Amino acid sequence: MPAHWNHHPHRYNRWIVVLCLPVVFAADNQLLNHSSTTMANDKKWVITLSNQRPISDVSKDLTKVGLTVDQVLAEIGCVTGTASDDVAKKLRSVPGVADVSPEHNIDIGPPDAEITW
């Protein structure tokens, strides 16, 4: 350890991060990985609303059809959530829905990267 570290040893403490994964037991006590219990065909969706109905009412209807709502973004008139392709087709018929589109991941890279897109 360099000599100058002795002046402020608390500033150089190392942290150990432990990743805790949820564990699920099946009815027959077999251990299941939580990620294996989710639907493999589920995708993230962005639902744009038409503002013809209150966003809370549309959000409730989307849940009834089968969307697992992640976020209600009232300021911009969108709801995000997870559902299968079949459920996404049904979401389009909910009154107050203007568009249903798959969510796309955006990665702009690290701050010092020369190319970010």
Q: CATH number of the domain that 56 lies in?
A: 3.30.70.80
- Could you tell me the residue range of the domain that residue 77 belongs to? 39-102
pTM over cut 0.75: no
Question: What are the helix (H) ranges across the chain?
Answer: 55-65, 85-91
Residue 107 in any domain: the answer is no
pLDDT tens digits for range 55-91: 999 999 999 999 999 999 999 999 999 999 999 999 9
Residue 10 in any domain: the answer is no
**Count of structural domains within the chain:** 1
Residue 72 in any domain: the answer is yes
Residue 76 in any domain: the answer is yes
Question: Rounded to whole angstroms, what are the CA distances from 93 to 41, 42, 46, 51, 58?
Answer: 20, 19, 15, 15, 11
pLDDT tens digits for range 90-110: 999 999 999 999 998 887 778
Residue 51 in any domain: the answer is yes
Is the Cβ–Cβ distance between 79 and 71 less than 8 Å?
yes
Kindly report the backbone phi and psi dihedral angles of residue 79, in degrees, each rounded to the nearest multiple of 5, phi listed first.
Answer: -130, 135
Residue 54 in any domain: the answer is yes
